[in-house]
């Protein structure tokens, strides 16, 4: 009996040694790469999601004239520790086989360290308040974005055509004028879809310029003529040069872009606030000249719509909870999703800071 027990002990010790070595080698060989593949993707998704939520939250804040705040993720350090437990359990039954039972387990413990900081300081503020450059406008166009969407979001005036310049700040009390500007943007979009439009950036005497070129085959088309009349140009031209307004006499046509903060203000007018907040005066109500309430969907409706709900929405691409309500963008609203994606790109380009928001 003693020899049998000794044999079982030797056998189970051998099993334990095998289990221990298996855990050690498998941990060294596999756990690092496995967790890099899974956790990096999860952190990537989490950062992207929280960036979007932060941007949406600031849109809602500006609708209420609240102070926006951007918080940057400075660093993520994640450490994984492989924990192993090995032991023997005994069954005190006389003559029982397998009196000692080996027990081994392993688990991975993650210890993430994430640091945040408010995005502030001269460099960040300058990037937020500086007008979007004409080079950025051209870059977005050449990246495949609709010129209509770019112009509506980024520009507040082209020649005498105004795109609600007062909407680049807190909600104005009087209704803005946008009809002619919007029509011009639609004409350019139609030329773009037909492959008859080019946008280029150049500098003349160190002055940035945006150049619109219409192809020769379309220079006398109805679309080209409508665009020319809107900007008081000459019929039959193919090249139009725009630059920032100047006190000097010059040939180029005036063009005025918004700042990043101006863009966020502009799109914040697409936030639908709860009826009670309207009645209690928590947001500004814009009115027409005749005293009727102005519907901001006439300006931002073809760009972005941010809904509000007292209950958590089910079909939301993005949502935030603020002032006891949920504010969200519908997952099926491709127009709003596209404009929000454009806003995120402009923010990344314009905020110009060492911290990633």
* pLDDT, tens only, 272-324: 999 999 999 999 999 999 999 999 999 999 999 999 999 999 999 999 999 99
Cβ neighbourhood burial of 110 (10 Å; 0-12, 13-18, 19+)? exposed
Phi-psi region of 200 (alpha: psi -120 to 50; beta: other; left: phi over 0): beta
Q: How many CB atoms lie within 10 A of CB 130?
A: 14
Q: Check whether residue 132 and residue 277 sit in a common domain.
A: yes
| 105 and 128 belong to one structural domain | no
Q: What is the pLDDT along the chain (357 residues), one digit of tens a residue?
A: 555 555 555 555 555 555 555 555 555 445 555 555 556 677 778 888 888 999 999 999 999 999 988 876 666 666 656 555 555 555 555 555 555 555 555 555 656 666 666 666 677 677 788 899 999 999 999 999 999 999 999 999 999 999 999 999 999 999 999 999 999 999 999 999 999 999 999 999 899 999 999 999 999 999 999 999 999 988 989 999 999 987 666 678 999 999 999 999 999 999 999 999 999 999 999 999 999 999 999 999 999 999 999 999 999 999 999 999 999 999 999 999 999 999 999 998 887 544 433
Query: Please, where are the H alpha helices in 27-133?
Result: 32-63, 122-129
Into how many domains does the chain fold?
2
Q: To the nearest 10°, report the CA torsion of 272, 278, 283, 289.
A: 90
Domain residues for the domain of 311 are 122-350
**Other residues' Cβ atoms within 10 Å of the Cβ of residue 224:** 23
* Same-domain pairing of 297 and 160: yes
Classify the phi-psi angles of 133: left when phi > 0, otherwise alpha if psi is within -120 to 50, otherwise beta: beta
Give yes or no: residues 104 and 189 share one domain. Answer: no
Residues 206 and 179 in one domain: yes
Same domain, 15 and 86: yes
Q: Which of 92, 118, 144 is the endpoint of a domain? A: 118
Residues 329, 197 within the same domain: yes
Same-domain status, 251 and 147 = yes
**At which of 99, 118, 137 does a domain end?**
118
Q: Does one domain contain both 344 and 255?
A: yes
Structure tokens given for 181: 């500007």
End-of-domain residue from the set 118, 153, 183: 118
């Amino acid at each position: 009996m003693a020899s049998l027990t000794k044999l079982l002990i030797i056998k189970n010790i051998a099993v334990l040694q095998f289990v221990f070595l298996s855990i050690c080698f498998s941990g060294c060989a596999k756990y690092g790469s496995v967790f890099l593949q899974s956790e990096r993707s999860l952190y990537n998704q989490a950062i992207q999601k929280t960036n979007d939520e932060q941007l949406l939250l600031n849109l809602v804040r500006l609708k209420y004239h609240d102070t926006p705040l951007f918080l940057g993720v400075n660093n993520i350090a994640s450490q994984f520790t492989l924990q192993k437990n090995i032991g023997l359990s005994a069954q005190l039954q006389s003559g029982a086989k397998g009196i000692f039972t080996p027990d081994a387990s392993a688990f991975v413990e993650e210890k993430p360290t994430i640091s945040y900081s408010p995005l502030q300081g001269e460099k960040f503020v300058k990037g937020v308040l500086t007008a979007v450059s004409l080079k950025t406008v051209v870059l977005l166009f050449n990246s495949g974005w609709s010129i209509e969407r770019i112009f509506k979001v980024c520009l507040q005036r082209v020649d005498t055509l105004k795109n609600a310049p007062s909407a680049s700040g807190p909600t104005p009390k009087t209704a803005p004028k946008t009809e002619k500007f919007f029509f011009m943007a639609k004409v350019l979009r139609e030329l773009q879809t037909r492959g008859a439009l080019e946008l280029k950036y150049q500098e003349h005497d160190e002055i940035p310029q945006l150049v619109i070129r219409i192809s020769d085959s379309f220079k006398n088309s109805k679309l080209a003529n409508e665009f020319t009349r809107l900007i008081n140009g000459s019929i039959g031209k193919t090249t139009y040069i725009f630059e920032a307004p100047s006190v000097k006499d010059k040939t180029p046509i005036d063009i005025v872009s918004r700042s990043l903060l101006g863009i966020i203000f502009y799109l914040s007018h697409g936030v639908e606030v709860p009826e009670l907040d309207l009645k209690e005066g928590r947001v500004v109500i814009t009115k027409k000249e005749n005293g009727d309430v102005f519907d901001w969907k006439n300006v931002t409706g073809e760009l972005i719509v941010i809904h509000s709900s007292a209950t958590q929405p089910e079909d939301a691409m993005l949502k935030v909870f603020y002032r006891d309500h949920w504010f969200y963008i519908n997952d099926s609203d491709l127009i709003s999703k596209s404009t929000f994606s454009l806003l995120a790109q402009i923010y990344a380009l314009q905020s110009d800071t060492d911290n990633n928001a």
